[in-house]
Every structure is written in C-alpha cells, then in structure tokens.
Amino acid sequence: MDWIPNFLLPFFYAVTMIVAVMTIAGYSVLAERKVSGWIQHRVGPNRTALPIVGSIPIIGPFLTKLGIFQPLADGLKFLFKEDIMPGHVRKGYYFAAPIIALVPALTTMVVLPFGQYVDADGVTQPLVLANVDIGILFILAVSSLGVYGIVLAGWSANSKYPFLGGIRSSAQMVSYELAMGLSILPVFMWAAAPGADYGLSLYGVVRSQDGLWLGIWQPISAMIFLIAVFAESNRLPFDMAESETDLVGGFHTEYGSFKFGLFFVAEYAHIVIGSAVFVLLFMGGWNFLPFVASPWPDGVIGAVLSVLWFLFKIFAMIFFFIWVRWTLPRFRYDQVMRLGWNILLPLAVGNLIFNALLIAIHDRL
C-alpha cells in the first residue's frame, strides 16, 4: 500500500494548495475592490449576503458588509453567464488561451515553500510540495509561459485590439524577464555559496535570511525584481496588454463569461505567486522580523504560525500591489519599453557585476 503516501497524499496536498491559491486569488479580487473603494472614499462591495450565514445576528451583517461573500457571487456569475462565442475567432486557440494563461500560474506553486516544520528530532523541514533544488529557475521558466495565454488570446480573437494587446504583452514580457532574471542572480550568489546545499532552492534562500533580509542589503535587486513582477503580472502601471483607454479591453476584448473569468483569476494568481516569490526572496519568507530570531515553537503549532506569518506577508504585498495601482497612472508604451531596456536591464547587469566583485573581494579576505 505504498501508493497512498506516494501518490494520493501529494495529490491531496496539490489540490489543497490549488484551492488555497485560488481562494487567495479570489479574495485578492475582493481586496482589490475593497481597497479601491477605501482609497476613493467609497465602501466597496457590501451587499452580497449568503442566505443562512448572512442572517446570523451580528456576524452575518458584519461579514456581508465586509463583502466576504462577494467572490462567491462573482464566481457564480462568471460560471452562469451565457458563454458567447464570437463568430470570427480561431476556435481552438480561442478556447486554449485562458487555460494556458492559468495553468502556469498554478504550476509554479509546486515549488513554493510556504513554511517550515521542525520535527521531533529538531530537523527543520520545508513545507513545500516539491522541494526542488532549482526552485527559482522553475518559477521563472514556467511563469513566463503565462504570456502565451495572452498572446494566443490576442491572436485568436482575430480582431485588432486584442491583437495589439497580445503584441504589447509579449514584448513587455521579454523585456522584463531579462531584468528580472538578472536581478535575482546576486541574491543566489550570496545565499548559496559554492558547495552549499540548496543551490537555487527557494527554501535555501529563506533559510539564509534568518537574520538579515535580502531586501535590506540587496535593495537594488529587490527593487528591480519588484518592478519586474509588476510588469510580468500586467498590473497597473504596466497593464499595457489590456489598457482599456486605448485598446478597449486589450487581449480579452472578445472574451466573456467563464473564459474571461479564467483570465481574471490567472492575473490574480500571478499576483499571488509574484508576491509569494518576492516575500521568499527579499522579505525573509516566514522569518519573523529582520534581526529577530523566529519565535516559532517546534512542531505543528510552529509550522502553522510560520505559514500564517508567511501568508500575512503575502497579503501585505498584495495590498501593496493594489495601493500602487491607485497611485500611479499607466505608463505610455514607449516609457514601459525604455524603462525595461534602458534602465532596469543596465541596472541589473551593473548590480550583478558589482555584487560579483563584492563577493570576489569578500572571498579573498
């Protein structure tokens, strides 16, 4: 009966993970609407009520006011809307595009560690579906596949606005992928000294931030990475792919109902994953605070606490994403390109060389 731990358990974990990420994505939509509302002196969604839960005395109205049930309603709406199929689209690709957009976003989380567990023997184990050594490479490789969804959507919709959206998005992805990759090299150069365990593993990076967070002593890397994450996840001020003022809706102009819903979720899944990676790389993962030893006790309780702390940081990042959205206006497309190629890329290269020299000097001493 090997197959239970070997097969069923990972499957169960994976499903749990997907559910968790999707839930977080769903609630980041809610968060987006709520925070947008607050920033604009509004209240955001506060009317959707579940039949029974909503009528529990104090709690029900409170949850309703918070809009807790709104994502449910949104999801149901997407599910039950009439699925309109424009006559002029390239059907196969048209259907494939939203799936291609979502799948990479969900795949990357396989290698995302989200906490630690100190077992009875005092051995610290990462909480991760697959603690692969090349975690960050995997993430970079797979998450950038997501752009195929957008490009395909733009092309298969067979009309000009989506097409322009798709083109913009692919160009933007290429430009920022480069800076992003280069920006995190110094991190790993520091985190994983030659011969150390976990060369490119995210778990290793988190471990190395036990005291000092990388974001503090690699601010340039952190900044470049952050900007690149914004760009990669097509968030404002980089949402060139769907900029509604000039492209109607961009790549998803011709999409509606559930297919649009998939794009929508994929975007938020990207944000969640992006935030998670940023937290892992630069904000110490589940480590408590810089220069403060994590107070997590051993055992299950410590594991849960570490996971919660990690989630808290992710939520902070998501909030930051939303906050930026309502602060910065959208860039012009040429500005996006200039920022990517003329500023971020040289900066990343310079940062890499600088750190390499620093490491060389450090090693000599």
Partner 1 sequence: MAKTKVLERKPLSLAERTYLPQIASGLKTTLGNMLKPNVTLQYPEERPVIPENYRGVPTLVRDPEGREKCVSCQLCEFVCPPKAIRITPGEISEGSDTEHVEKAPEEFEINMLRCIYCGLCQEVCPEEAIFLQDIFSVSGYSREEMINKKDKLYELGGTLPDRHRKWDKKKAAEINGPAHH
Q: Which stretch binds partner 1 (CB under 8 A): 41-49, 249-257, 281-289, 292-300?
A: 41-49
Inter-CA distances, 75 with 26, 64, 81, 206, 265, Å: 8, 16, 10, 35, 10
- 23 contacts: CB under 8 Å, gap ≥ 6: none
Inter-CA distances, 63 with 41, 56, 67, Å: 20, 10, 6
Minimum CB distance to partner 1, residue 326 (Å): 5
Inter-CA distances, 288 with 107, 165, 308, Å: 27, 41, 11
Check residue 42 for interaction with partner 1 (CB under 8 A): yes
Burial class (CB in 10 A: 0-12, 13-18, 19+), 267: buried
Q: Which stretch binds partner 1 (CB under 8 A): 71-79, 154-162, 174-182, 320-328?
A: 320-328
Which residues on neighbouring strands pair with residue 117, listed in sequence order?
125
Applying the rule CB under 8 A, the residues between 148 and 207 that interact with partner 1 are none
Choice between 30 and 142, CB closer to partner 1: 30
Check residue 326 for interaction with partner 1 (CB under 8 A): yes
Minimum CB distance to partner 1, residue 219 (Å): 11
Among 323, 346, 353, 362, binds partner 1 (CB under 8 A): 323
Q: Are 82 and 132 in contact (CB under 8 A)?
A: no
Minimum CB distance to partner 1, residue 350 (Å): 15
Choice between 11 and 326, CB closer to partner 1: 326
Check residue 316 for interaction with partner 1 (CB under 8 A): no
Q: Do the bridges between strand 115-118 and strand 124-127 make them parallel or antiparallel, or are there none, so unpaired?
A: antiparallel
Q: Are 278 and 237 in contact (CB under 8 A)?
A: no
Among 14, 17, 20, 37, binds partner 1 (CB under 8 A): 37
> DSSP labels for 306-335?
HHHHHHHHHHHHHHHHHHHHTTSPPPPHHH
Minimum CB distance to partner 1, residue 323 (Å): 6
What do you get for the CA distance between the two ends of the chain, in Å? 55
Among 16, 23, 40, 124, binds partner 1 (CB under 8 A): 40
Q: Which stretch binds partner 1 (CB under 8 A): 14-22, 75-83, 323-331, 351-359?
A: 323-331
Among 41, 87, 121, 123, binds partner 1 (CB under 8 A): 41
Q: Which stretch binds partner 1 (CB under 8 A): 35-43, 109-117, 197-205, 295-303?
A: 35-43
Choice between 19 and 328, CB closer to partner 1: 328
Q: Are 276 and 180 in contact (CB under 8 A)?
A: no
Among 12, 38, 62, 291, binds partner 1 (CB under 8 A): 38
Check residue 43 for interaction with partner 1 (CB under 8 A): yes
Binding site for partner 1 (CB under 8 A): 35, 37-43, 323-324, 326-328
